[in-house]
């Protein structure tokens, strides 16, 4: 069977790519009236301008030697071990340094996964020798003191010297994990405590997006 590749260009600059991918993954109906739709007959010619711009900025060698990680759809029923391994695979590419910023409105909410605290602790365990400052930004709508205490206790049990800072702001909807001198990060399509209970997208952030997010966090006095 021949493969057909379509190119979708959103007419609205505020389009949320994650929502589209999740709908497709859930076999939900999608409406393409807000897109310019075209068929890609040749990858090289269809994306010629983007390819040229990339080669001019990064050089041909970077394209050949680069290691590609595509976005990953985390499906319902994904096991805790796989969630840990998936997120660590993306965090490895971020290259975690002494500061980790986690933006997640429901980080301290009642978890849908009863093993949430253990999963989080297992994810961070690999990087705690490096992390000195853990900054967590949540909304003020769903902070459960017992969950917050359990998380902080589990982390400090592994690294007592770590500095955990909790900041509150209700303007952030998406979930970001940012490190590497505030230059790299990943985005998670749902709160960590819900992964495995619903379909969500896991992806790397490009540097320009990370800088924009960091700029907003700075402007809001959160970092």
Is the pLDDT at 199 greater than 90? The verdict is no
**H helix or E strand, kind and range, residue 103:** strand 99-103
Please say whether the beta carbons of 102 and 179 come within 8 A.
Answer: no
Measure the CA–CA gap between 114 and 190, rounded to whole angstroms: 16
CATH number of 72-219: 3.30.870.30
Q: What is the pLDDT of residues 169-181, one digit of tens each?
A: 998 888 999 999 9
Is the pLDDT at 158 greater than 80? The verdict is yes
Which DSSP symbol is given to 206?
P
Measure the CA–CA gap between 183 and 169, rounded to whole angstroms: 21
Q: What is the pLDDT of residues 69-105, one digit of tens each?
A: 445 667 677 788 888 988 898 899 899 999 999 999 9
Task: Provide the total of helices (H) and of strands (E) in the chain, helices listed first.
Answer: 8, 9
The confidence score (pLDDT) of residue 68 equals 44
Q: What is the mean pLDDT of the chain?
A: 83
Q: Where are the domains of the chain?
A: 5-65, 72-219
Q: What is the pLDDT of residues 114-143, one digit of tens each?
A: 899 999 999 999 999 999 999 999 999 889
SS (H, E, C) 137-174: EECCCCCCHHHHHHHHHHHHHHCCCCEEEEEECCCCCC
């Amino acid at each position: 069977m021949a493969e057909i590749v379509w190119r979708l260009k959103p007419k609205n600059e505020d389009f949320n790519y994650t929502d589209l991918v999740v709908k497709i993954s859930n076999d939900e109906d999608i409406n393409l009236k807000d897109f310019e739709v075209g068929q890609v007959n040749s990858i090289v010619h269809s994306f010629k301008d983007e390819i040229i711009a990339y080669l001019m900025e990064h050089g041909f060698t970077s394209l050949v030697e680069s290691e590609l990680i595509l976005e990953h759809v985390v499906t319902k029923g994904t096991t805790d071990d796989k969630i840990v391994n998936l997120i660590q695979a993306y965090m490895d590419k971020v290259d975690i340094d002494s500061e980790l910023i986690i933006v997640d409105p429901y980080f301290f909410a009642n978890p849908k996964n009863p093993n949430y605290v253990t999963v989080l602790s297992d994810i961070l365990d690999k990087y705690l020798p490096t992390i000195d400052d853990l900054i967590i930004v949540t909304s003020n709508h769903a902070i459960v003191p017992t969950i917050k205490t359990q998380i902080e206790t589990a982390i400090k049990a592994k690294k007592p010297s770590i500095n955990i800072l909790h900041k509150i702001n209700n303007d952030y909807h998406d979930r970001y994990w940012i490190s590497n001198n505030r230059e790299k990060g990943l985005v998670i399509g749902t709160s960590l405590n819900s992964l495995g209970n619903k379909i969500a997208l896991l992806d790397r952030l490009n540097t320009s997006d990370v800088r924009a997010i960091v700029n907003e966090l700075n402007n809001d006095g959160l970092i």
